Amino acid sequence: MFFSNKHVVITGGTGALGTAVVGALLEDGAQCTVPCVHEREAQAFPHRDQANVNLIAVRDLADEADVARVYAAARAPLWASIHIAGGFATGKVAETDKSALTAQLETNLISCFLCCRAAVRAMNGGGRIVNVAARPALEWRSGAGMSAYAIAKAGVAALTVALAEEVAKDGILVNAVAPSIMNTPANRAAMPKADHTAWPKVDEVAATILFLASPDNSVTRGAIVPVYGKA
């Protein structure tokens, strides 16, 4: 059990990918702190009653006070922090106003930055940070029609690489995954005519995240790992 008695924060842990990550961590013995913004997701979260889950209601992960409260509630020492929380929006540049751009930056990049900062401060003697970027963070042309989202996720990728360099000597390895569209009920409903079998499943993406967050990962840092499946 790679994560036996190790303490892990998982933002976005009540979503489709987050639920798969938390489930796998629990099977491997982790103690999970899961902040939750939406009460509806908290009520539907299948792991909410697990003894090793600490579910914390927050208003906004782009708010410094809320983030500080999450990491204060996590049991010390913190081993890993996995940042799945984010949001998606379409929109061409000509159709995107400042508020829409700012919303994507706050939801995806600023929340990730603040959680990374809190995680580094909470880790004592090393640890792992795993961020979630997206395919447009690596393939910029694929961000056409979703410019604000692509910009925010590219920022997450840049943050990951820069932070990895800053904290490597402290024994903290920082990486990210970059999923394509994942095979979830919501995505299948939104794109019913797509080839869903080509999309990566959430448990497959979760497996990559768990390796990067585990003690078994002893050398990989500063990587933005594509998890595209066959898409």
Residue 185 pLDDT class (50, 70, 90 cuts)? confident
Q: Fill in the DSSP letter of residue 43.
A: H
Query: Active site includes 71?
Result: no
Tens digit of each residue's pLDDT (9 = 90 or more) over 47-58: 999 999 999 999
CA torsion 116-67-147-228 (nearest 10°) is: 60
Q: What is the domain-level CATH number for residue 95? A: 3.40.50.720
Is residue 1 one of the residues assigned to a domain? Answer: no
Q: Find the catalytic residue in 20, 149, 160, 199.
A: 149
Whether the CB-CB separation of 152 and 177 falls below 8 Å is answered with: no
pLDDT tens per residue across span 11-37: 999 999 999 999 999 999 999 999 999
CB 113 within 8 A of CB 68: no
Under the banding of pLDDT at 50, 70 and 90, the label for residue 1 is: low
Name residue 118's amino acid.
A
Q: Is 199 exposed, middle or buried (0-12, 13-18, 19+ CB in 10 A)?
A: buried
Q: How many domains does the chain have?
A: 1
Q: Report the alpha-carbon distance of residue 146 to residue 8 in Å, rounded.
A: 31
CB atoms within 10 A of CB 195: 9
In a domain, 119, yes or no: yes
Structure confidence at residue 137 as a pLDDT band (50, 70, 90): very high
**Residue 231 clears pLDDT 80, i.e. is over it:** yes
Residue 2 lies in a domain: no
In a domain, 183, yes or no: yes
Q: Which of 60, 61, 52, 45 is nearest to 5 (CA)?
A: 52
pLDDT at 39: 87
Tell me the pLDDT of the chain averaged across its residues: 95
137 CB neighbour count, 10 Å cutoff: 27
Structural domain includes residue 30: yes
Residue 99 structural domain: 7-227
In a domain, 48, yes or no: yes
178 domain residue, yes or no: yes
